[in-house]
Structure 1
Amino acid sequence: MHYFERLDEARFAATEYTQGAWNCAEQHIAPSIGLLAHAVEQDRDRRRDDRLPLARLSYDILGTVPIGVVDVDVQVRRPGRSIELVEATMSHAGRPVLVLRAWLMQRFDTEPLAGSSFAPIPGPQDTPAWDMPGLWRGGFIASLHVRRTQIGPGRATAWARTDVGLIAEETVSPATAAIMLFDIGNGLAVRADPEKVAFPNIDLTAHLFSEPRGGWLGFDTTVSFGSDGLGLTHSVIHDETGPIGTSSQMLTVRPIG
């Protein structure tokens, strides 16, 4: 099982596991977010051997994506020995649909300084299983294992993982495997019934101060709606060692009907 099949160096065919939650004829953007992160890491490893980690990822969602063939292009916008800015674009039928601008930063030994004041969350073994497909449609959501504690309207802590690979017969890094799940934050701590209110995100920006190590990915998520159609989903991202960064998604909030 996998979300994409590689057709050549730059072209990929989406599978039914990418099926979206808002419209089952369109892709959920989460696997594509992982695909662009993987493309940036592959480009990095072809050019250099120091494996700079992805520290800041800023995605702009330019349109919906049918479940079909997509093209990926990677360009280095700011080369450097210790810090790089790399841009990756996904297109469908010649139309850009998703753009990633990623900052890659050199490693230093700061183990004696490591720490965070972000609050820990209960681990996956202490969090009850949640039937996410009972609320959200689509093949991507159905491919996930999710555990969640609902704290209140728009507030939840959760853990997620998937047994579905990103690309057929291809290994991805633990970082990419985690990044592929970041976009589900918007569906974990719902503030309104998605059958009555649409609140898709137009972007996703993540800041990572520690590389994901694999396994379960944790979310401490807050969803906020304004009074004029704007919303924000903000998550503190965890792996099983503790907090590792944050993710934010800007929402367009639209009552249905």
Structure 2
Amino acid sequence: MSYFERLGPSTFLPTPHVGGAWNIEEQHVAPALGLLVHAIETDRDARRDDGLVIGRLSYDILGTVRIESCDIEITVLRGGRTIELVEAVLSNGGRVIVRLRAWLMQAADTTSYAGTALAPIDPPEAFESWNPSTIWPGGFIASAEVRRKELEPGRAAYWVRTTIPLVKGEEVSRLASFAGLFDIANGMTVRADPRDLAYPNIDLTAHLFRRPVGEWLGFDTAVSFGPTGVGLTSSTLHDVTGPLGAQSQILTIRSL
């Protein structure tokens, strides 16, 4: 079974694997974030043949997502020969839920200059298996395999993968598949028990300086809570060859 099945050109039906962590009657937003990337890449490839690469994904999460069919609308906000800004909007029952704005950029061979000062993390085989369902309920969390090294509450490195296809019967890029896991970061090293305190993220922004490879997505994550009800989950993103980018999620902290 997949996370989504296509019902039409821009309509998708979620499966039980998208069940949420804060509320199992709602979608965990993570797979939908990957679905939006898949929609943008599909639209890009239908419009042009030069394979612009995605350098930034900026999501605003405007509400909760019911486990029912979703529609996606694509708009090119800034067209261009070498750079585009594209927006993908996911709606649920006519209500806008997530807005993604992605910068697409011309690919070029910069191999001779490639490198990063970001520190790598140990490979997946060096980490112990950890079951996140001991903390979080829902079909999405249950669908993910996690290997983790936690240094302290709110600070950990970990690897995540899933065997569940993003969209039934469709070829999906490694980036779209990984984007469907990005939002898991906010729950993999908790500063507070989610049964005592809620801290959902209302956005997610990822910057990527190369295309990902492999089946494992790695995170080096730090979670911060401020004194006025705002928090931040910051992660360096990795694949098995090393760092590939960074992401951040702003949190709204609320007593239960």
- TM-score range (shorter-chain normalised) is over 0.9
Summarize the alignment of residues 1-257 of structure 1 with structure 2, pairs less than 5 Å apart.
1-256=1-256
Q: Is the 8 A contact 1:83 1:106 kept in 2?
A: yes
Report how far residue 236 of structure 1 moved.
0.1
Moved over 3 A (4+): none
**SS, match of residue 65 in structure 2:** coil
**SS, match of residue 2 in structure 1:** coil
Q: Is the 8 A contact 1:177 1:214 kept in 2?
A: no
Structure 2 gaps of 5+ residues are none
**SS, match of residue 80 in structure 1:** coil
Q: Is the 8 A contact 1:70 1:92 kept in 2?
A: yes
**Cα distance in 1 between the residues matched to 2:135 and 2:199:** 14
**Cα distance in 1 between the residues matched to 2:249 and 2:125:** 27
Report how far residue 214 of structure 1 moved.
2.9
Aligned length: 256
Could you say what the CA RMSD is over the residues aligned between the two structures, in angstroms?
0.6
**SS, match of residue 232 in structure 2:** strand
**Cα distance in 1 between the residues matched to 2:51 and 2:195:** 43
TM-score by length of 2: 0.99
Report how far residue 51 of structure 1 moved.
1.1
TM-score by length of 1: 0.99
Structure 1 gaps of 5+ residues are none
**Cα distance in 1 between the residues matched to 2:245 and 2:57:** 11
**Cα distance in 2 between the residues matched to 1:255 and 1:97:** 24
